Amino acid sequence: MSDVLALVEARLRTALGEPDARAAVTFLGTDRIEVLRFAGDGVVRYATLGMSAHPMTDPSGAAPGLGAPPSVVFADPVAGPRAELLITLRPGRADIDKVLRPLAVLAASPQVEGVVVAPGASLDTGEPLWPGAGFTSVLVAASGGLVEDLELDAPLDPVRFLPLLPMTPNEAAWKRVHGAEALQERWLAQGTDLRDPLRGGADLT
112, amino acid identity:
V
For the chain, what percent of residues have pLDDT higher than 90?
71
Separation between Cα atoms, residue 31 and residue 118, nearest integer Å:
20
Q: How far is CA 134 from CA 44, 72, 94, 148, in A?
A: 19, 25, 11, 30
Instruction: Give 159-204 pLDDT, tens digit per residue.
Output: 999 999 999 999 999 999 999 999 999 999 999 999 999 999 999 9
Contact 74, 58 (CB under 8 A): yes
The predicted structure's pLDDT at residue 57: 79
DSSP code, position 157: P
Q: Amino acid letter at 184?
A: Q
Do residues 162 and 83 lie in contact, with contact meaning Cβ atoms separated by under 8 Å? yes
Residue 67 has pLDDT above 80, yes or no: no
pTM of the model: 0.89
pLDDT in tens, 1-34: 568 999 999 999 999 999 999 999 888 777 899 9
Residue 95 is predicted with a pLDDT of 94
- Taking the C-alpha atoms of residue 129 and residue 99, their distance in angstroms, rounded to an integer, is 5
The CA-based diameter of the chain, rounded to the nearest angstrom, is: 49
Cβ atoms of 104 and 48 within 8 Å: the answer is: yes
pLDDT tens figures, 162-172: 999 999 999 99
Q: Is 199 helix (H, G, I), strand (E, B) or coil?
A: coil
Instruction: Give the model confidence (pLDDT) of 68-123 as tens digits.
Output: 444 555 556 677 899 999 999 999 889 999 999 999 999 999 888 887 899 999 99
Tell me the C-alpha distance between 188 and 205, whole Å. 15
